Amino acid sequence: MAKLTLNDVTKVYDDAEGTETAVDEASVTVEDGEFLVLVGPSGCGKSTTLRMIAGLETVTEGTVEIGDREVQYLAPSERDVAMVFQSYALYKRMTARQNMGYGLKHSTDMSAEERNRRVRESAELLGIEELLDDKPEAMSGGQKQRVALGRAIVRDPDVFLLDEPLSNLDAKLRSHMRTELQRIQSDLDVTAVYVTHDQTEAMTMADRIAIMNDGVVQQVAPPEVAYDHPNNKFVGAFLGSPSMNTFDAVARGDGDGDAYAIDVDGITLGKVPRGAVEDNIDGESVCFGIRPEDLHLDNLSDDVTDVCQFPATVTITEYQGNDNFVYLDVGDRSLTARVPPGVYPDSGDEVTVRIAAEDVFLFDPETTESIKTRGVGNEHIDTQPITRS
């Protein structure tokens, strides 16, 4: 077990098609025993980052440290990391037992007895003792994935690296394996970096998430902090489903002077106490954000003060089971609300939408950085700077 540190890690691909910076000065520390999830849209540099940690890809600039060793120039086998891939990458002709023991047999001088003991223990941990004599072709996707995990676990690595390991599984199994993986990681108390493009997977599994976009780490924080206090609009909109509603808006000091009205096309969609925003934004352009669950149709407690309300027309309500999505028109804009199951307005209904000041997000329209996050004070904003060369 060990702490993993990336210092300004950069990867530039330079090939016939030109030069591309896939990862731009990524700096992340994963504490000993921590489960960090690297998340972001396809092509944002997650796999490249993971492969640089594993040693499967060279580092153009920066350092990778495992414990107190700099490892960026070491071969993968010298780094004490184990990687699990989406494709399982099992040897077809070998049984589960042989697949799991293969790395130990060929890269250590461990006795056959010790090897077998480790394979047996890992198989128990994963609940696959019965599969040990089977070959991959006789296994389901979930079973193959467990064998692939077992092969990583037997090596008792310092750092466990997982690249979209659950994407080939069906939804039900994926959700089951998510829980299993968390249990295993916590039982083993191993430092883990898990790559996924699926924000739900990231939010549910991680101790902390590192959100990447366009090669740049945007924020590293516990899921609930990133969700409620995103550093910028990208993080705010990437986390959460349906996505945060965002609109270009103008902040206007309202009549009594102690709040800003946030106007979108002349309609006030939010009111924010002046004290919730550091600088004076009177008359300034802002980007207004509101999460679907914070648009209240008839379910906001009367105790909530600082509420802004406006009329909207329901275009459609989608039944979801444990809640409903209501699509609303306000002027020329469309908003998505997520409401409790009992709230099911018909298409064409005129409704009153209420928004509490504490739920309003504001972003700088130019830099996209947060001006106001959840709450009416800004004390929780993680001000970790984003570097871009």
Q: Applying CB under 6 A, which residues contact ligand ADP?
A: 13, 15, 20, 22, 40, 42-48
Q: Which is nearer to ligand ADP, 45 or 345 (CB)?
A: 45
- What residues contact 250, with CB distance under 8 A and at least 6 apart? 262, 263, 283, 284, 285, 286
Work out how close the CB of 161 gets to ligand ADP at its nearest, in angstroms, rounded to a whole number.
13
Q: Which is nearer to ligand ADP, 44 or 131 (CB)?
A: 44
- What residues contact 301, with CB distance under 8 A and at least 6 apart? none
Q: Which is nearer to ligand ADP, 11 or 118 (CB)?
A: 11
Query: Are 81 and 159 spatial neighbours (Cβ–Cβ below 8 Å)?
Result: yes
Work out how close the CB of 20 gets to ligand ADP at its nearest, in angstroms, rounded to a whole number.
5
Give the strands of the sheet with 267-273, arranged side by side: 267-273, 259-264, 245-253, 285-290, 361-363, 370-372
Query: Are 240 and 199 spatial neighbours (Cβ–Cβ below 8 Å)?
Result: yes
Following CA atoms 101, 107, 110, 111 in sequence, which dihedral angle do they give, to the nearest 10 degrees?
60
Q: Which is nearer to ligand ADP, 47 or 245 (CB)?
A: 47
Q: Which is nearer to ligand ADP, 42 or 389 (CB)?
A: 42
Whole-number Å distance between alpha carbons of 355 and 97: 57
Work out how close the CB of 150 gets to ligand ADP at its nearest, in angstroms, rounded to a whole number.
24
Work out how close the CB of 59 gets to ligand ADP at its nearest, in angstroms, rounded to a whole number.
13
Query: Are 243 and 237 spatial neighbours (Cβ–Cβ below 8 Å)?
Result: yes
Burial class (CB in 10 A: 0-12, 13-18, 19+), 300: middle
Q: Which is nearer to ligand ADP, 166 or 339 (CB)?
A: 166
Work out how close the CB of 180 gets to ligand ADP at its nearest, in angstroms, rounded to a whole number.
23
Work out how close the CB of 15 gets to ligand ADP at its nearest, in angstroms, rounded to a whole number.
6
SS3 (DSSP) at 213: strand
